């Protein structure tokens, strides 16, 4: 009885062993096949072979060449990005230097303009009268800067003009800053003024300005003319250092640049 049981157990173990062998044999065979492929492709490991196959390569040599090419491309791209970054930084440094140079230049020009403004305003305040002349014809008005009103008027009135030109329409202020007149100065025309304008070409036509005049408490200069007609003229002296003052007439669509002239006391 015992021998029979032992025989049954041994038979069971044998069947089990055969089952295990039947299950592991395909895996073993697959492993051998993979190892053969590894050796045939010149790979160092199955993992390396599978990585190469995933990239589309069957041999280690082709895969390594592919990796080398990829690395070269990455290095070239990194170098390109580094050069671009360096170029951007260099451009930023140059832009900052240029901005600093322009700022320094602008500051110097502003300082010079402020000094000229102060000098011209002092002349205006100490003059018997001064005027703002609006250029209406082509002329190098900058050449008139520094001259007295009399000199400016004489120069412009001696300058030939074309048909229809009016040399200057100006606003003049007296010493008390409340004597204001409009002045038309017409040059020596090359046409019959009476026929063109309907009146003779007088050099000076003074028309008193009717309205309220506002004077700056700080400088004593006229800053606003509020005319009885309802229009206004605002004077900004910030640019007088260049020989010009900017005015704005309310209700008009454009600004005017006027030439400053002073008549010493």
pLDDT digit string (tens) for 134-152?
776 677 877 887 888 888 8
The whole-angstrom separation of Cα 258 and Cα 253 is: 16
Does pTM surpass 0.75? no
What is the tens place of the pLDDT at every residue in 154-169?
777 677 666 555 556 6
Quick one: pLDDT at residue 131? 85
Quick one: pLDDT at residue 189? 43
Quick one: pLDDT at residue 101? 92
Quick one: pLDDT at residue 102? 92
Quick one: pLDDT at residue 201? 53
Quick one: pLDDT at residue 100? 92
For the chain, the C-alpha Rg in angstroms (whole number) is 49
The CA-based dihedral angle spanning residues 222, 226, 227, 232, taken in that order and rounded to the nearest 10 degrees: 100
Which parts of the chain register pLDDT below 70?
1-42, 44, 60, 136-137, 157, 160-169, 183-207, 250-256
């Amino acid at each position: 009885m015992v021998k029979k049981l032992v025989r049954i157990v041994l038979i069971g173990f044998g069947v089990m062993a055969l089952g295990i062998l039947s299950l592991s044999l395909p895996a073993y065979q697959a492993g051998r096949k993979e190892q053969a492929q590894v050796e045939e492709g010149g790979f160092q490991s199955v993992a390396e072979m599978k990585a190469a196959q995933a990239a589309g390569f069957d041999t280690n040599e082709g895969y390594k060449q592919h990796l080398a090419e990829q690395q070269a491309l990455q290095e070239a791209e990194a170098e390109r990005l580094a050069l671009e970054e360096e170029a951007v930084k260099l451009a930023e440094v140059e832009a900052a230097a240029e901005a600093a140079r322009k700022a320094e230049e602008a500051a110097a020009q502003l300082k010079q303009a402020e000094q000229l403004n102060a000098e011209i305003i002092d002349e205006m305040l100490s003059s018997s009268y001064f005027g703002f002349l609006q250029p209406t014809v082509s002329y190098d008005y900058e050449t008139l800067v520094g001259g007295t009103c009399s000199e400016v008027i004489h120069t412009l009135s001696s300058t030939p003009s074309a048909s229809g030109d009016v040399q200057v329409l100006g606003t003049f202020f007296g010493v008390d800053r409340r004597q204001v007149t409009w002045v038309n100065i017409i040059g020596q025309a090359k046409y019959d003024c009476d026929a063109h304008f309907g009146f003779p070409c007088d050099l000076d036509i003074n028309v008193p300005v009717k309205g309220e005049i506002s004077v700056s408490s700080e400088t004593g200069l006229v800053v606003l003319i509020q005319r009885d007609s309802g229009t206004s003229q605002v004077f900004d002296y910030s640019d007088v250092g260049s020989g010009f003052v900017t005015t704005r007439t309310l209700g008009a669509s454009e600004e005017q640049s006027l030439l400053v002239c002073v008549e010493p006391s």
